[in-house]
Copies of this chain bind each other. A is one copy, B any other.
Amino acid sequence: MTGEGTAADPDSPVGEATTETYTASVIGGTGFTGGELLRILAGHPSFEVVQATSRSADNMTVGRSHPNLRGLDLRFSSPEELEPVDVLFSATPHGVSMERIDEYVETADTVVDLSADFRLPEAALYDEWYDGHSAPEYLERAEYALPEINRENLPGADLIAGGGCNATATILGLKPLVDAGVLGPETGEVVVDVKVGSSEGGAGGGAASSHPERSGVVRPYAPTGHRHEAEIEAYLGLSVSFTVHAVDMVRGASATCHVFPEEPVSKGDLWGAYRGAYADEPFMRIVSGSGGVYRYPEPKSVAGTNHGEVGFELDPGNRRVVVFSAIDNMTKGSAGQAVHAANVALGLPETAGLEFDGLHPVGSP
């Protein structure tokens, strides 16, 4: 299911496709990810959202849950009755989609699932990392959403599985080193230290997510055993030592990857690896020590956008490569990635609906 991330000019508009409109639905529209999908689709030239479901906010306006969407003339409906659509985006908690997948694929030509339910390639991994899988027959059919590593398999896909945000940041940071042969299963320890914002916890919240407890934290919330490890290992082909910290921002995931190559590498090698992987990618930027305040990837620089920033530094003393990778967990790490994948699947311009370039200055986005 892995791809090369090269081929075709992703910016070139794809003729007629752009004049067609696809109907779409969003299942689980009150959550943060559902709201982000609705935001992106509302500005997308080729999608028309005909249904957004919510059990808790049935019949209420979308703008009541997502104040940025107050201008949208759309009300939530019950998830019980699904409208037939061209593309169904599901943003429900993990476990829901695998129960309803038969219904989803009957309802829509293309299903894009943003949960973890179809993102791992084998049922055994769900047994190991989750509580098993109730529809394992769909796993092979599902295509991993991240175009940077799976573009070639997306066109025409009818079931697309969005990546996890921390995994996305890590995979985007390390994949070029794997492809360039700097990093492989035999390399030795790879330490990935991730810092994430509070939106990762979802709209539900709890004591640990309350503002007084969550403000100003540097909190180890998954020291070991984070489920995204399984995804990283599945798509990079190697194990990583993975730790996640909650820090004080709302949107954003930043992965710092410490890599110790077998053979010495030069800065030129690294530039080569990253340019080779991302020079033609419409959403990837290489940011590495260019001077000024923003010399490395930062979640702030990509907040609200579908951009991914990667950068690196070399520690000659002990042959360490430090890789930084920053995304907006809600966009590139979830809803933006899903729309990007849908664009590729349907033959639309890749950047359609995803043109927002972010703000400066911006606080804790």
Residue A333 at the B interface, CB < 8 A? no
Given that A203-B212, A243-B256, A364-B248 are known contacts, is A292 also in contact with B64, CB under 8 Å in the complex? yes
**A223 and B313 within 8 A (CB):** yes
Kindly state the separation between the CA atoms of A335 and B230 in the bound complex, as whole angstroms: 44
**B216 and A300 within 8 A (CB):** yes
Number of this chain's copies in the assembly equals: 4
Given that A322-B243, A365-B363 are known contacts, is A298 also in contact with B219, CB under 8 Å in the complex? yes
Kindly state the separation between the CA atoms of A223 and B330 in the bound complex, as whole angstroms: 26
Partner of A203, one of B191, B201, B210, B320: B210
Q: Which bucket holds chain A's interface residue count?
A: 35 or more
Residue A124 at the B interface, CB < 8 A? no
**B216 and A360 within 8 A (CB):** no
Residue A252 at the B interface, CB < 8 A? yes
Q: What chain B residues lie within 8 Å of A293 (beta carbons)? A: 207-208, 213
Given that A64-B291, A224-B315 are known contacts, is A248 also in contact with B249, CB under 8 Å in the complex? yes
By Cβ-Cβ distance, the 3 closest A-B pairs, closest first, are A216-B364, A250-B363, A363-B364
Q: Which residues of chain A have a CB within 8 Å of any CB of chain B? A: 32, 35-36, 39, 42-43, 64-71, 188-189, 191, 193, 195, 197-199, 201, 203, 205-220, 223-225, 239, 241, 243, 245, 247-252, 254, 256, 258, 260, 285, 287, 290-294, 296-301, 303-305, 311, 313-315, 317-318, 320, 322, 324, 326, 330, 355-365
